[in-house]
Amino acid sequence: MKIPFLDLKRQYTSLKKEVDTAIESVIDEHRFVGGEVVSSFENAFAKAHKAKHCIGLGNATDALFVILKSLGIGPGDEVIVPAHGWLSAAEMVALSGAIPVFADVELQHFGLDPKSVEMKITPQTKAIIPIHLYGQICEIEALAKLAKKHHLYLIEDAAQAHFAEKSGRIAGSWGIASAFSFYPSKILGAYGDGGAILTNDDAFAKQCRMFANHGGLSKNDHQVKGINSRLDTLQAAVLNVKLNHVEQWIEVRNGIAERYSEAFVPIEGIISPKVNGSETHNFHIYCIRTKKRDALKAHLQHAGIATEIHYPLASPYTPAFISDYSPKDFPNSFQLQNEVLSLPIYPELTDVEIGYVIEKVREFK
């Protein structure tokens, strides 16, 4: 049996008529940039996340850059980012001219550890960018308190956390703004790159939209120096279709995750994701931990089961940011880079395939 880590063709097959109709309507209209299709998606995505404003962009990395620049963060400033996780936040802080300051993560939600963050705050610190990793909200309440206490901006990297909730609040609702990704593999994925900013601040929303559109709200209106990053109309059409199915997909993903976790309880040395009653995990990624990660990955690959490592190197140890950091500087992040393994989890997996993954994990010694 061959089980891919993700099979987007299965999803497309289930939505073919809806998606094809949406794409054809954009082509027939010949409106490929902006228009009602984009604005309708922005409005629907904002409403679904209980936010006032959604600004569609080219990708989530651009979203982080636009947020940082619109806040005036630049040379001389410091921004605290996680050592473990996708490195877009650290990249964009550096490219904005500011200094990315890495803090360690905690081992339950894989997000920024508030204790590590507080130790890194200096008079130059201007913002904190936590990542809601794998589809689960981090220790955001404690981070929000820290940000308020030290008068810092809180920017949520919610690229993986569509519709995740904690204590009755939805991802992206704690900070000045949040960045979302619509990369094809995401819970809500386009057929190419795409991203968005959510914010409840009217003035800030206007500033972000201007910066992302050559510095103005309309053609030939350049109020500030900006960039060109817009959500493509064809991608918005696809997202409009998929948005109607996301809630069901998350429910199915949670069912698969529950089945995995129950099966792995008796297996010594495997740590499954932990979810408590106040949280809603979207299970964009089902990430286990094991000290025998590489051997288990090879075992599953031999059995025809594709897995991924999210992420094989903590950001401070990558060539892009490497310095004189040692494993002791970020012990949890260093540990995770050697233990994390992501298993296949998507709504189109069959019962037989899920059972096969469980069987092969169980038989690993």
DSSP 242-261: HHTTHHHHHHHHHHHHHHHH
Q: Which pLDDT does position 322 carry in this prediction?
A: 78
End position of a domain, from candidates 243, 262, 297: 243
Question: How many Å apart are CA 49 and CA 335, to the nearest integer?
Answer: 33
Residues 200-243 pLDDT 10s: 999 999 999 999 999 998 888 899 999 999 999 999 999 999 99
* pLDDT score of 145 more than 90: yes
**CATH number of the domain that residue 12 is part of:** 3.40.640.10
φ/ψ of 207, rounded to 5, equals -65, -45
Question: Is residue 221 in a domain?
Answer: yes
Q: Is residue 2 part of a domain?
A: no
Find the domain containing 339 and state its range: 246-363
Q: What is the DSSP string of 254-298?
A: HHHHHHHHHHHTTSTT-BPPP--TTEE---SSEEEE-TTHHHHHH
Percent of the chain with pLDDT over 70: 100
Beta-sheet pairing, 153-157 with 99-103:
unpaired
- Whether residue 277 is predicted with pLDDT greater than 90 in this model: the reply is no
- Cβ contact 134:86 at 8 Å: no
Burial profile 236-271: b = 16 or more Cβ within 10 angstroms, e = fewer: bbbbbbbbeebeebbeebbebbeebbebbeeeeebe
| Residues 201 and 329 both lie in one domain | no
HSE, CB side, 13 Å, CA atoms: give it for residue 365. 0
Between strands 177-181 and 195-199, the pairing is antiparallel
Q: What is the pLDDT of residues 291-344, one digit of tens each?
A: 999 999 999 999 999 999 999 999 999 999 977 889 999 999 999 999 999 999
Based on the domain organization, do 158 and 275 belong to the same domain? Answer: no
H-helix or E-strand containing 211?
helix 202-211
Is the pLDDT at 365 greater than 90, yes or no?
A: no
Span 76-118, pLDDT tens digits:
999 999 999 999 999 999 999 999 999 999 999 999 999 999 9
Do 160 and 263 have their domain in common? no
* Same domain for 41 and 185: yes
Tell me if residue 91 falls in helix, strand or coil.
helix
Question: Cα angle vertex 268, ends 265, 272, to 5°?
Answer: 45
Q: What is the pLDDT of residue 111?
A: 97
Would 359 be classed as within a structural domain? yes
Domain count of the chain? 2
Which class for 54: exposed (0-12), middle (13-18), buried (19 or more C-beta within 10 A)? buried
Q: Which residue has the higher pLDDT, 276 or 288?
A: 288
C-beta neighbour count of 216 within 10 angstroms: 15
* Element (DSSP H or E) covering residue 207: helix 202-211
Q: Are residues 87 and 207 in the same domain?
A: yes
